[in-house]
A = this chain, B = another copy of it.
Amino acid sequence: MEKIPPISDAWLEQIRWNEHGLVAVIAQEFGSKDVLMLAWMNREALSQTLQKGQAVYWSRSRKQLWHKGEESGHTQAIREVRLDCDGDTILLIVDQKDRIACHTGKHSCFFNEWDTVAQHWVEMKE
C-alpha cells in the first residue's frame, strides 16, 4: 500500500471506538491467509498505520503506541484495511516481515490448539 496523507478526523469517527477509544484489529497474512494476531488501535495508531503503510498498534499493557517490529524488525506492511459490518473490528491484510508475528518468535500467535481427546492445549508444530 502506498503511503497516504493524514486522513480526516471525520473518517475516523466512522469507526465505533469502544469505551477506551480502541478498536480491535485482526492481522491476517497476505497469501497464506494465516491469522497472525489480534491487537488494538486508537485513532492515532490507525492514522500512523495508514501514513506509514506499516501496522502501528496501541499497547494496552504499556499504554503507548507500538510500531510493530520497530525493535524486532518483524514489521507488518499493509496490503488492505477492512472494516466489519458494525464498525468495531478492523481486518488488516499484511506482509509479515520474516513471517514472524509473535513475540515468542513463532509465525502466528495462535499456536495453541485445543485437544478434544486429551482435553488440554497442545502446541502446534509450524
User: Which A residues form the contact surface with B (CB < 8 A)?
Assistant: 1-2, 4, 7-8, 11, 14, 24, 26, 28, 32-35, 37-38, 50, 80-86, 89, 91, 102-104, 106, 109-114, 116, 119-121, 124
CA distance A84 to B104 in the complex (A): 11
CA distance A40 to B4 in the complex (A): 33
Q: How far is the CB of A83 from chain B (nearest CB, A)?
A: 4
**Shortest 3 CB-CB contacts between residues of A and residues of B:** A33-B33, A81-B114, A84-B109
Q: How far is the CB of A36 from chain B (nearest CB, A)?
A: 10
16 chain-A/chain-B pairs, Cβ below 8 angstroms: A2-B116, A8-B119, A11-B120, A14-B121, A28-B35, A33-B33, A50-B116, A80-B113, A82-B114, A82-B124, A83-B112, A83-B114, A83-B121, A84-B110, A84-B112, A85-B104
Q: How far is the CB of A19 from chain B (nearest CB, A)?
A: 10
Q: How far is the CB of A123 from chain B (nearest CB, A)?
A: 10
Q: How far is the CB of A103 from chain B (nearest CB, A)?
A: 7
